[in-house]
């Protein structure tokens, strides 16, 4: 959280000695607050004041990194309670459990499945973020951890309460920076010492918020710095309340014991319920949701919720306004236009692809608005469409002069025909899903 000039000034020597090049300590404080000068530019500031200001200006929620290099995932350093206040910064990651009951072959197959759990939606790749391997119930925890870490293309979470087994697994793959899951009141000392000695991040869970605060304090005293608040999910209402209180305490009251990202372990059955709960906890402050299911139908609803919630509300979701070629287009391929709102474009492009009829899509810049919103907001007009078609030199691509327009904008037809070289304007479907049948019918004519 940014410090004010007055907060900084209170910690300065207040001698107005000018050694920093400014006439007064107050002027210096104002420049530090505006990030135009560094605190270290004052040669007389005491170590104590310097430390206290650094502490006060630290982010209210710590950034935690799991994994290494390209195969890493960052969570935390969130700044707001509600998305519309600014944005949520780091997407929730889904962790899929690899049970200890699986054989080595089955565990390897599940890791492969996790690696392949990735899909492209609205031009964005959404995927499972962690392989979460249980090490408590296996004979050789180091071997199982190594098998998963070597095959996983996403960071690893080690699940276990037995400190001895966790130590063996952690020591084997500590170079991969896995998350240790999880410390509780019964094992806090040994797990915190393990986290401190290996520098691995540690999830800490308590039976209630008071105990959780106590345990994060204990972990810090043992030298464990990179913590994650872990919540069980026996009761939806209680868990949501705890997640919300912890987040508010961290961001609004700067309560350091809760100044870490949170995660939830979902144990609900049937798996449909797990999916619903995963989406709810992802929307309400879980930086990681640990689930048991690994089927696409279970994972995709959670991933799409995460994608929607973590989209920056201050930046329109757009694609570049240009001429797109879908399939092997030729001079007789149909031409259509749509807006540059990502969801609109990818819906149209996806349905054109599905139709197997190669086509050109001219994308008009509507500042990220869909068709009807753009029309209502005066961001699209027949004149603008004609101008865009000319700028994109569409007539040079095809021999015909037929243009398909969105079914929601039939009003553009006459003006486009009257003012451009597009002699025949065809009113297309209102919904993208009707495009394949529409294009296939046109192709037969």
Contact residues toward ligand SF4 (CB under 6 A) are: 12-13, 15-20, 22, 25, 28, 42, 44
252 class by beta-carbon count within 10 Å (0-12 exposed, 13-18 middle, 19+ buried): exposed
In whole angstroms, the minimum distance from the beta carbon of 6 to ligand SF4 comes to 14
By C-beta, is 44 or 241 nearer to ligand SF4? 44
Q: How far apart are CA 37 and CA 46, in angstroms?
A: 17
Query: Which CB sits closer to ligand SF4, 14 or 241?
Result: 14
Cα 221-227-233 angle, rounded to 5 deg: 120
- What is the token pair recorded at 139? 């004979």
- Residue 4 Cβ vs ligand SF4, minimum distance, rounded to whole Å: 16
Minimum Å distance from CB 41 to ligand SF4? 7
41 vs 415, beta carbon nearer ligand SF4:
41
Distance CA 234, CA 224 (A): 27
* Neighbour tally for 403: CB within 10 Å: 28
Of 13 and 137, CB closest to ligand SF4: 13
Q: Which residue's structure tokens are 């206040």?
A: 85
Maximum C-alpha span of the chain: 87
CA distance 201 to 114: 22
Nearest distance from residue 11's CB to ligand SF4, in Å? 10
Which of 41, 62, 54 minimizes the C-alpha distance to 7?
54
Q: How far is the CB of 36 from ligand SF4 (least distance, A)?
A: 13
Choice between 13 and 313, CB closer to ligand SF4? 13
**From the CB of 180, what's the least distance to ligand SF4, in Å?**
44
Pairing of strands 71-76, 63-68: antiparallel
- Residue number with CB closer to ligand SF4 (42 or 173): 42
């Amino acid at each position: 959280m940014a410090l004010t000039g007055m907060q900084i000034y209170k910690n300065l020597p207040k001698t107005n000695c000018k050694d920093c090049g400014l006439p007064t300590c107050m002027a210096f404080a104002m420049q530090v607050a505006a990030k135009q000068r560094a605190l270290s530019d004052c040669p007389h500031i005491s170590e104590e004041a310097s430390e206290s200001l650094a502490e006060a200006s630290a982010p209210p929620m710590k950034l935690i990194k799991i994994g290494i290099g390209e195969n890493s995932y960052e969570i935390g350093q969130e700044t707001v309670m509600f998305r519309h206040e600014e944005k949520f910064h780091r997407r929730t990651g889904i962790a899929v459990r690899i049970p200890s009951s699986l054989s080595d072959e089955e565990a390897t197959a599940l890791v492969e499945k996790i690696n392949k759990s990735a899909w492209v939606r609205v031009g964005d790749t959404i995927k499972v973020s962690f392989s979460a391997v249980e090490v408590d119930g296996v004979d050789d925890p180091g071997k199982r951890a190594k098998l998963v870490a070597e095959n996983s293309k996403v960071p690893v979470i080690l699940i276990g309460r037995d400190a001895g087994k966790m130590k063996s697994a952690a020591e084997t793959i500590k170079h991969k920076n896995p998350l240790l899951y999880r410390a509780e009141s019964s094992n806090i000392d040994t797990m915190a010492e393990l986290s401190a000695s290996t520098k691995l991040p540690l999830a800490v869970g308590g039976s209630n918020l008071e105990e959780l605060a106590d345990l994060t304090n204990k972990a810090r005293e043992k030298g464990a710095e990179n913590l994650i608040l872990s919540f069980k999910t026996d009761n939806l209402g209680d868990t949501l309340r705890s997640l919300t209180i912890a987040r508010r305490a961290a961001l609004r009251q700067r309560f350091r014991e809760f100044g870490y990202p949170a995660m939830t372990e979902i144990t609900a059955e049937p798996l449909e319920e797990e999916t619903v709960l995963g989406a709810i906890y992802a929307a309400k402050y879980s930086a990681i949701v640990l689930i048991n299911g690994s089927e696409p139908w279970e994972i995709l609803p959670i991933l799409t919720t995460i994608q929607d919630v973590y989209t920056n509300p201050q930046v329109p979701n757009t694609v570049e306004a240009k001429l797109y070629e879908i399939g092997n287009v030729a001079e007789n391929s149909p031409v259509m236009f749509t807006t540059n709102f990502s969801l609109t474009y990818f819906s149209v492009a996806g349905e054109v692809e599905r139709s197997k009829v190669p086509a050109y899509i001219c994308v008009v810049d509507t500042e990220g608005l869909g068709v009807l919103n753009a029309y209502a907001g005066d961001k699209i007009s027949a004149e603008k469409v004609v101008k865009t078609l000319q700028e994109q030199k569409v007539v040079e691509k095809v021999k015909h002069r037929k243009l398909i327009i969105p079914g929601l904008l039939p009003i553009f037809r006459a003006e486009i025909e009257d003012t451009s070289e597009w002699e025949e304007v065809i009113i297309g479907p209102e919904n993208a899903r009707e495009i394949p049948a529409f294009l296939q019918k046109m192709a037969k004519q």
